[in-house]
Amino acid sequence: MVKNTQVIFSRIPDSYIPEVGKDMAIKETEFDLDAPLSNGQFILKQLSLSIDSYMRGRMRDPSVKSYVDAFEIGKPLKCGTMSLVTKSNNPKFKEGDLVQSSGGLFEQYTLVQDEKQAEEYQVKNDPRDTGLPPSYYLGLLGMPGMTAYVGMMKIGRPKKGKTLYVSAAASSVGQLAGQIGKVYGMTVVGSAGADDKTVYLKEIGFDEAFNYKNDDISTKLKEVCPKGIDIYFDNVGGKTLEAAIANCNNYGRIVACGMISQYAEHPETAHNLMQIIVKRLRVEGFIVSDEADMKEQFRKDVTQWLLDGKINYKESVAEGIEKAPEALIDVLQGKNLGKQIIKVADE
Amino acid sequence: MVKNTQVIFSRIPDSYIPEVGKDMAIKETEFDLDAPLSNGQFILKQLSLSIDSYMRGRMRDPSVKSYVDAFEIGKPLKCGTMSLVTKSNNPKFKEGDLVQSSGGLFEQYTLVQDEKQAEEYQVKNDPRDTGLPPSYYLGLLGMPGMTAYVGMMKIGRPKKGKTLYVSAAASSVGQLAGQIGKVYGMTVVGSAGADDKTVYLKEIGFDEAFNYKNDDISTKLKEVCPKGIDIYFDNVGGKTLEAAIANCNNYGRIVACGMISQYAEHPETAHNLMQIIVKRLRVEGFIVSDEADMKEQFRKDVTQWLLDGKINYKESVAEGIEKAPEALIDVLQGKNLGKQIIKVADE
């Protein structure tokens, strides 16, 4: 038997920032690595976990419907995971395979019980071919990266010489969205909530970056987007969306990717929606899981851009699964710089 | 010399509803029907004027930019006009031609001074071929009808068996938008602000119609759109938009055509924009004047539907140009039933 630490969803938070110990708890259990496996079963050892702000949206009353199910009280949190198969009685998952999930369990070891549960996991041995770290497949080459790619390619449609504005631009989604704009020759402006983040954004090629906490966003956008905004990649919503609409050019497109401001207790909203008509804007939402047919092109393009040095990528890595609750709080408070990863174990 | 009554824009209104006498004034002038005409000049006798709520948007400080210029203080109001050429020294406009404008002057007679002013006017002798009243070319077959057509065909994209909701559905735009939905086999629901309007909407084929003043809009929409809303044709914005978003199906489309609620002094806005992402909605604005290439198909389709009895059309006609200010106030207060027309003169 080995120790199997789990990160449990224990209560629906009272406020936007969940509490460690009350809303998320560490639970120590045991796991039998040599347990006999029925047909279809296999054992996963988690290597890396992805921490994403949208996890907060799953900490809700399950009767409130959304595009992704609520977490179950008393069960481990779920998000992106990269894992190693350590034992298998399932021909699709071989011992030594790397396995990815966008809803893997936050625990050190998982016994995948049956074919239904196995559907949550996909063999992903790509890191062995590309030489890229497996954790990249949780961020840049995983769901967050694909979110940026789908939003930009399907809705934003980058165009040389035009201006792109990305909010929460230092997030794992935001940094790729902006860099895709640069690959296509756009002028790219990003906002973030800390000065070290805006420095980082300029380092990775953003033309302009500002700390939204220091300025009136609309005034700042007028200054840094003198030709107006043609594509706004929205990760924030609320007053940031309002400021972007105010600075959009005619026929601008707003990629409605996330609205993190709307999880606040008294969220602000945009009051200038009339401009959608006046400026003939298109505001369009999407959910990355709808766009599975873009996955292959996404992986191909982004891997190539990365290997060619056209895009950069930064991770913020916390070591040890017990760091997951604090890391989620950091992400919700915008403290992480780069994609937040929990390193659980080496291969 | 004949009397030439003008309707003058005399002051920027203090509140949403302009005041007769203060903001709009009747001015009696004289006109020489037999005046000698320079090259390119011609004389128009106005037959019918169109009264549209968007005129209120032009009664603003000219420094506030919008998709259409502000009215000029001391000059006649402008909107859709149907006129008759009574004398001409311009080969493009012959005596006896019917002439349409979307920005014609609100006066009994107009001396069109030069080629630049003449660009505001187009010969429109169609009523002589179709036998339809010339005033129809100010509403159903004019700018309001084309607005409904462009919004439905370019953005909404009607689909058999799906549900369309139209707000301000008894307006000249709304009634055609809904009836286009019916032509394409949709279930069509409309809201309006008076019981006689909801009765009228059912008469012209809407499946359901409700008075938004009598109900919580979102609750009512849930009841009358049991399968959810697939297309929302928005003429209102604000809380109505919010209620429609709340009842939209996944992948719903919102045609952002008008937001009359936003002219109020303290306009409400929608607070559930996060649902644009959750439901993958597309919200898109448009301005009819951008879509000149759809004009021919619009005229062809709508004329045919009308002649085939597939769509109905109602006008609310006030007699005499001096009725224009009160008629505009009626439109802004939602008192008119059917397209508001001022009849100025017979041919």
| A244 at interface of B, judged by CB pairs closer than 8 A | no
Q: Do B277 and A257 form a contact (C-beta atoms < 8 A)?
A: yes
Domain boundary assignment for chain A: 2-139+314-343, 143-289
- Tokens standing for residue B213: 């003043």
Q: Which residue of B has its CA nearest to A234?
A: B277
Of B262, B277, B282, the CB nearest to A258: B277
Distance CA A202, CA B252 (A): 38
**Secondary structure of chain B: what % helix, strand, coil (to 5)?**
30, 30, 40
Distance CA B287, CA B329 (A): 23
Q: Do B21 and B33 form a contact (C-beta atoms < 8 A)?
A: no
Distance CA B176, CA B203 (A): 13
Mean pLDDT of the A256-281 span: 91
Which chain A positions have a beta carbon within 8 Å of B285's beta carbon? Answer: 276-282
pLDDT averages per 10-residue partition of chain B, 347 residues: 97 94 97 95 98 92 87 97 97 97 96 96 93 93 94 98 96 94 98 95 97 95 98 97 98 95 85 96 96 95 95 94 97 89 95
Of A241, A269, A273, the CB nearest to B237: A273
Q: Which residue of A has its CA nearest to B68?
A: A278
Give the residue carrying structure tokens 């601008």: A252
| B178 at interface of A, judged by CB pairs closer than 8 A | no
Q: What is the pLDDT of residues A22-45, one digit of tens each?
A: 999 999 999 999 999 999 999 999
**Which residues fall within 8 angstroms of residue A35, CB to CB, at 6 or more apart?**
A43, A111
Angle at A289 between CA A283 and CA A295, to 5 degrees: 100
Cα dihedral sign, B74-B75-B80-B86: positive
At residue B204, the 3 state secondary structure works out as coil
Band of residue A54 on the pLDDT scale cut at 50, 70, 90? confident
The DSSP bridge partners found for residue A343 are A48, A319
How far from chain centre, in Å, is Cα B10? 23
| Dihedral angle computed from the Cα positions of residues A199, A204, A206 and A208, in that order, rounded to the nearest 10 degrees | 20
- Residue A133 identity (one-letter amino acid): P
Angle at B345 between CA B344 and CA B347, to 5 degrees: 140
Q: β-pairing, A339-343 with A315-319?
A: parallel
Angle at A28 between CA A24 and CA A32, to 5 degrees: 130
End-to-end CA distance of chain B: 19
Q: What is the pLDDT of residue A67?
A: 75
How far from chain centre, in Å, is Cα B84? 22
- Average pLDDT of chain A is 95
Q: What is the gyration radius of the CA atoms in chain A, in angstroms?
A: 21
Band of residue A193 on the pLDDT scale cut at 50, 70, 90? very high
Of B67, B269, B278, the CB nearest to A278: B67
Q: What is the pLDDT of residues B24-67, one digit of tens each?
A: 999 999 999 999 999 999 999 999 999 998 899 999 999 988 77
| Other CB atoms within 10 Å distance of the CB of residue B35 | 12
| A289 at interface of B, judged by CB pairs closer than 8 A | no
User: What percent of chain A is modeled with pLDDT above 70?
Assistant: 100
Band of residue A104 on the pLDDT scale cut at 50, 70, 90? very high
Alpha carbon distances (Å) from A116 to A40, A49, A127: 10, 21, 26
Q: Do B331 and B340 form a contact (C-beta atoms < 8 A)?
A: yes
Distance CA A196, CA A330 (A): 15
- What CATH number belongs to A143-289? 3.40.50.720
Distance CA B324, CA B51 (A): 7
Q: What is the pLDDT of residues A154-183, one digit of tens each?
A: 999 999 999 999 999 998 899 999 999 999
**Which residues fall within 8 angstroms of residue B317, CB to CB, at 6 or more apart?**
B135, B341, B342, B343
How many angstroms away from the CA of A263 is the closest CA of chain B?
9
How far from chain centre, in Å, is Cα A41? 29
| B277 at interface of A, judged by CB pairs closer than 8 A | yes
How many angstroms away from the CA of B133 is the closest CA of chain A?
31
Mean pLDDT of the A199-228 span: 96
Give me the CATH topology for the region B2-139+314-343: Quinone Oxidoreductase; Chain A, domain 1 (3.90.180)
Which pTM does this prediction carry? Answer: 0.86
| A264 at interface of B, judged by CB pairs closer than 8 A | no
At residue A322, the 3 state secondary structure works out as helix
**Which residues fall within 8 angstroms of residue B340, CB to CB, at 6 or more apart?**
B50, B51, B52, B172, B315, B316, B318, B327, B330, B331
